[in-house]
Amino acid sequence: MITTQSSSTVPVTVLTGYLGSGKTTLLNRILTHEHGLKVAVIVNEFGEVGIDNQLVIDANEEIFEMNNGCICCTVRGDLMRIIGNLMRRRDKFDHLVIETTGLADPAPVIQTFFVDEDMREQLQLDAVVTLVDAKHIWEHWDSSEAQEQIAFADVILINKIDLVTPEQLDELERRIGGMNAMAKVYRTRNSELGMEALLGVKAFDLQRALEIDPQFLSEDAHEHDESVYSVALVESGEVDGTKLENWMSRLLQTQGTDIFRMKGILNFAGEDHRFVFQGVHMIFDGTRDRLWKPEETRKNELVFIGRNLDAEKLREGFRACMA
């Protein structure tokens, strides 16, 4: 049984991936799986998605209930309006999955959860899940959509692994790791993956990234041969909130389009709670998290994923924000 984040906020999974990567198959799995959760799904354009007809009771209205108690709806209109309508049925579901079209940059969808005050109170981004077609990704590796989908991901499914050689898989995983060292990567066939790896994963977890790659935080860990890569900063001490805000504003004004995703855990001066921080391009959002545990070392950990990032300059800028 998967636990939800808290009774007040609905965890949201954003599902993305290039055309033909296996999103619809994964969506059908989520909707038919006995995971003990009632899931609401928003799909970008119902007509082209072709979700299993057996699941659908009445596809004529914008929001409809599946016969297994899940809710489904189509984004023919504005995402925020649809979510608003869905939230009136808050008692009907525990988790929201939003599927973006294969050619979409996931950023605007993710930003929705940071921008609107009501959204922030009611919903919490749980994870961005990206499917990568192991066989065909190379044909559009250089496209901005494919790169952005990988860069924004918290969880990546390298799918259709039965269609390529083990060597090709290793190379693909290496290149994905160079672009986004934070993401948890799984190798899958027919989009088969346990629900606990997809729903309720509370995506920002630096500890997990370190388990995947203990070198993640070392200064020279990242190969910069790809145009998109990650930069990680770790600093002990306390952060001055005002300095940080000023630095962030300047940084995003000058480099916001190149910074796809930012995530971090911060230790603010005079504050006993951890501060969890997330951003997409020019929009960022922070929430007060749990109390620091007595046995924890209080430190600041920030990760930037994007292109044309100057690691040294970022490090200097962040150090200047210390109290």
Asked if residue 15 is part of any domain, the answer here is yes
Question: Distance between CA atoms of 272 and 291, rounded to whole angstroms?
Answer: 6
Whether 149 and 53 map to the same domain: the answer is yes
pLDDT score of 282 more than 50: yes
* Reported confidence tier of residue 120, pLDDT bands at 50, 70, 90: confident
The reported pLDDT for the residue numbered 35 is 67
Boundary residue ending a domain (203, 235, 268)? 203
Asked if residue 209 is part of any domain, the answer here is no
Whether 74 and 190 map to the same domain: the answer is yes
pLDDT greater at residue 55 or residue 166: 166
> Which domain range does residue 308 map to?
227-319
Whether 35 and 167 map to the same domain: the answer is yes
Q: For the whole model, what pTM was predicted?
A: 0.75
What CATH number corresponds to the domain at position 161? 3.40.50.300
- Residues 129, 275, 37, CA angle at the centre, nearest 5°? 40
Q: Which two tokens stand for residue 116?
A: 């609107």
pLDDT greater at residue 180 or residue 75: 180
3-state secondary structure the chain: CCCCCCCCCEEEEEEEECCCCCHHHHHHHHHHCCCCCCEEEEECCHHHHCCCHHHECCCCCCEEEECCCCEEEECCCCHHHHHHHHHCCHHHCCEEEEECCCCCCCHHHHHHHHHCHHHHHHEEEEEEEEEEECCCHHHHCCCHHHHHHHHHCCEEEEECHHHCCHHHHHHHHHHHHHHCCCCEEEECCCCCCCHHHCCCCCCCCHHHHHHHCHHHHCCCCCCCCCCEEEEEEEEECCECHHHHHHHHHHHHHHHCCCEEEEEEEECECCCCEEEEEEEECCEEEEEEEEECCCCCCCEEEEEEEEECCCHHHHHHHHHCCEC
Question: Distance between CA atoms of 53 and 245, rounded to whole angstroms?
Answer: 49
Whether 239 and 190 map to the same domain: the answer is no
Whether 72 and 186 map to the same domain: the answer is yes
Question: Distance between CA atoms of 107 and 40, rounded to whole angstroms?
Answer: 21
pLDDT score of 188 more than 90: yes
Q: Which two tokens stand for residue 271?
A: 């504050």
The reported pLDDT for the residue numbered 221 is 41
Compute how many other C-beta atoms are within 10 angstroms of the C-beta atom of residue 159.
29
Asked if residue 121 is part of any domain, the answer here is yes
Whether 56 and 194 map to the same domain: the answer is yes
Whether 166 and 302 map to the same domain: the answer is no
pLDDT greater at residue 108 or residue 13: 13
pLDDT averaged over every residue in the chain: 78
Asked if residue 167 is part of any domain, the answer here is yes
What CATH number corresponds to the domain at position 309? 3.30.1220.10
Whether 183 and 256 map to the same domain: the answer is no
Whether 92 and 177 map to the same domain: the answer is yes
Note whether 17 and 148 are within 8 A (CB): no
The reported pLDDT for the residue numbered 189 is 94
pLDDT score of 36 more than 90: no
- Nearby residues of 13 by Cβ (< 8 Å), 6 or more positions away: 95, 96, 97, 98, 126, 127, 128, 129, 198, 199
Asked if residue 219 is part of any domain, the answer here is no
Whether 312 and 243 map to the same domain: the answer is yes
Q: Which two tokens stand for residue 167?
A: 């060597």
Boundary residue ending a domain (169, 203, 237)? 203
pLDDT score of 268 more than 90: yes
User: How far is CA 198 from each of CA 14, 26, 29, 182, 184, rounded to the nearest angstrom?
Assistant: 10, 10, 11, 15, 10
Q: How many domains does the chain have?
A: 2
Whether 158 and 17 map to the same domain: the answer is yes
Question: Distance between CA atoms of 3 and 5, rounded to whole angstroms?
Answer: 7
Asked if residue 240 is part of any domain, the answer here is yes
Asked if residue 254 is part of any domain, the answer here is yes
Boundary residue ending a domain (170, 203, 236)? 203
Asked if residue 88 is part of any domain, the answer here is yes
Whether 141 and 17 map to the same domain: the answer is yes
The reported pLDDT for the residue numbered 63 is 56
- Which residues pair with residue 57 across a beta bridge? none
Tens-digit pLDDT profile for residues 138-174 = 888 888 778 888 888 999 999 999 999 999 999 999 9
